[in-house]
């Protein structure tokens, strides 16, 4: 949005006038020094000297000196004024040249071209630091815009799939005689549920990216307990054992978002666990200046290049996902977004022997007087 401002002097004109004023002021001060320490000691009237006395020099009168000195002082001040204006204009233009380049780059970026860089040469000074910071900001914006465009394209594709499926089912229902309504309703319900889940995941991802939450003190060990309690029936259906252990790990953040983070990680570990009788391990602990939340699961061997892409939106790893819990491909992307929103990090590494290890590191909560944390160790197995 362009702000309508009244016209004013440019910075170059202001600097020019400042240089000229400073130079003239210096000249005036110099003349004042001459007056105070020289002309004030010159007599202001003529002396009468005897005819035969040698005066030993010339004794000028103050009025005569002022009459001769004043025009030349005024001319010197006028010269200093012109010199200050011309020199100040040139010096200000040279000094503000980097700022002009930064302004031009800003205008180019405002048109939507984020690939332009200033790359200001020369030694490091205030303008160079500003240009480097602006280049870094443009690089981040370019990467963010590219990610958002890719995300929007993927989201459009994912949302189009259940809508197209719904339309196809409705077309089939219109073409067939009534009688299979129950099966059709079940299929429509499943498709609609998937679309709702995807929309909710997109909204949650947007909420985390905007950091639209209130920060509170949250114990990650309690969050881990809530997440495993919720997903224990799912683990039992898949024959997966969940083990939770760890100490109190206080962090600062949104309880709801951190619970969603933990739930997504544990859910991901369960549904991506193809090992019959496999296991999921959830641990929490306080680290130096932070809190760690780690989820490990058994499974197939994962290549590092595949692991590096799992936190990207809509990366399901279809070969490793159960058909009934494929999800929208946003689980780990939401985890990474929530971690970033809390100034934390998500690290994914393949486990030796198969499976995945996901570690979230969050800044520790500010210290408050609390009782000594009690370590807890809980093991949950299918009944």
Rounded CA separation 145/150 (Å) = 9
| pLDDT confidence of residue 4 | 62
Which domain range does residue 256 map to? 216-380
Please state the φ and ψ torsions of residue 11, each to the nearest 5 degrees.
Answer: -65, -35
Mark whether 161 and 105 lie in a shared domain. Answer: no
| pLDDT confidence of residue 223 | 92
| pLDDT confidence of residue 377 | 42
Mark whether 164 and 310 lie in a shared domain. Answer: no
Mark whether 230 and 357 lie in a shared domain. Answer: yes
The total of structural domains in the chain comes to 3
Mark whether 308 and 266 lie in a shared domain. Answer: yes
- List the chain pLDDT tens, one digit each, 383 residues: 555 667 777 777 888 888 888 888 888 888 888 777 776 666 666 555 555 555 555 556 667 777 777 788 888 888 888 888 888 888 888 888 888 888 888 888 887 778 888 888 877 788 888 888 888 888 888 887 777 766 666 666 566 666 777 777 677 766 666 655 667 667 777 777 767 766 766 666 666 666 667 788 999 999 999 999 988 888 888 888 999 998 888 998 888 889 888 988 998 888 887 666 789 999 999 888 889 999 999 988 888 888 887 877 665 554 434 434 445 567 788 888 888 888 899 999 998 888 899 999 999 887 765 454 444 444 444 43
Tell whether 228 is covered by a domain. yes
CATH of the domain at 293: 3.30.565.10
Among 287, 304, 296, 299, residue whose Cα is nearest residue 361: 287
| pLDDT confidence of residue 375 | 41
Mark whether 206 and 221 lie in a shared domain. Answer: no
How far, in Å, are 5, 11, 97, 192 from residue 8 at the CA level? Answer: 9, 9, 20, 60
Mark whether 223 and 348 lie in a shared domain. Answer: yes
Contacts of 164 (CB under 8 A, 6+ apart): none
Q: Kindly state the tokens that stand for 220.
A: 């990650």
CA dihedral for 225, 226, 228, 233, sign (positive or negative)? positive
Rounded CA separation 181/289 (Å) = 59
Tell whether 147 is covered by a domain. no
Rounded CA separation 307/351 (Å) = 11
| pLDDT confidence of residue 238 | 84
Tell whether 144 is covered by a domain. no
Tell whether 68 is covered by a domain. yes
Mark whether 232 and 374 lie in a shared domain. Answer: yes
Contact 262, 294 (CB under 8 A): no
| pLDDT confidence of residue 52 | 57
Mark whether 222 and 306 lie in a shared domain. Answer: yes
Mark whether 73 and 169 lie in a shared domain. Answer: no
CA atoms within 13 A on the CB side of 374: 4
The β-bridge partners of 369 are none
Rounded CA separation 223/42 (Å) = 92
Mark whether 343 and 251 lie in a shared domain. Answer: yes
Q: Kindly state the tokens that stand for 183.
A: 């099966």
């Amino acid at each position: 949005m362009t702000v309508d401002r009244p016209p004013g002097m440019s910075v170059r004109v202001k600097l020019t006038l400042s240089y000229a004023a400073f130079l003239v002021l210096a000249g005036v001060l110099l003349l004042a020094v001459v007056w105070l320490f020289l002309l004030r000691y010159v007599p202001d009237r003529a002396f009468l000297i005897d005819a035969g006395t040698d005066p030993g020099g010339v004794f000028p009168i103050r009025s005569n000196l002022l009459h001769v000195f004043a025009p030349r002082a005024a001319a010197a001040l006028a010269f200093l004024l012109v010199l200050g204006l011309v020199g100040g204009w040139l010096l200000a233009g040279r000094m503000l040249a980097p700022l002009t380049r930064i302004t031009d780059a800003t205008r180019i970026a405002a048109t939507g071209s984020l690939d332009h860089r200033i790359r200001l040469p020369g030694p490091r000074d205030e303008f160079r630091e500003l240009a480097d910071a602006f280049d870094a900001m443009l690089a981040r914006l370019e990467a963010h815009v590219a990610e958002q465009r890719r995300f929007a394209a993927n989201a459009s594709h994912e949302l189009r799939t259940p809508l197209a499926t719904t339309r196809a089912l409705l077309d089939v229902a219109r073409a067939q005689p009534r009688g299979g309504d129950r099966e059709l309703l079940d299929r429509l319900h499943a498709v609609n549920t998937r679309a709702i889940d995807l929309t909710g995941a997109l909204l949650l991802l947007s909420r985390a990216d905007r950091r639209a939450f209130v920060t509170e003190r949250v114990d990650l060990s309690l969050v881990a307990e809530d997440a495993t309690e919720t997903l224990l029936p799912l683990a039992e259906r898949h024959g997966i054992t969940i083990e939770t252990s760890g100490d109190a790990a206080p962090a600062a953040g949104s309880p709801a978002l951190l619970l969603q983070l933990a739930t997504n990680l544990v859910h991901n570990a369960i549904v991506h666990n193809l090992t019959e009788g496999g296991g999921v391990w959830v641990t929490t602990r306080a680290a130096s200046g932070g809190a760690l939340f780690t989820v490990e699961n058994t499974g197939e061997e994962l290549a590092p290049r595949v692991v590096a892409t799992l936190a990207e939106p809509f990366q399901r790893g279809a070969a490793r996902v159960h058909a009934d819990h494929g999800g929208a491909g946003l689980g780990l992307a939401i985890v990474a977004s929530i971690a970033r929103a809390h100034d934390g990090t998500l690290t994914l590494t393949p486990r030796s022997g198969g499976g995945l290890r996901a570690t979230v590191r969050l800044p520790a909560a500010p210290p408050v007087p609390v009782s000594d944390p009690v370590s807890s160790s809980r093991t949950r197995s299918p009944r």
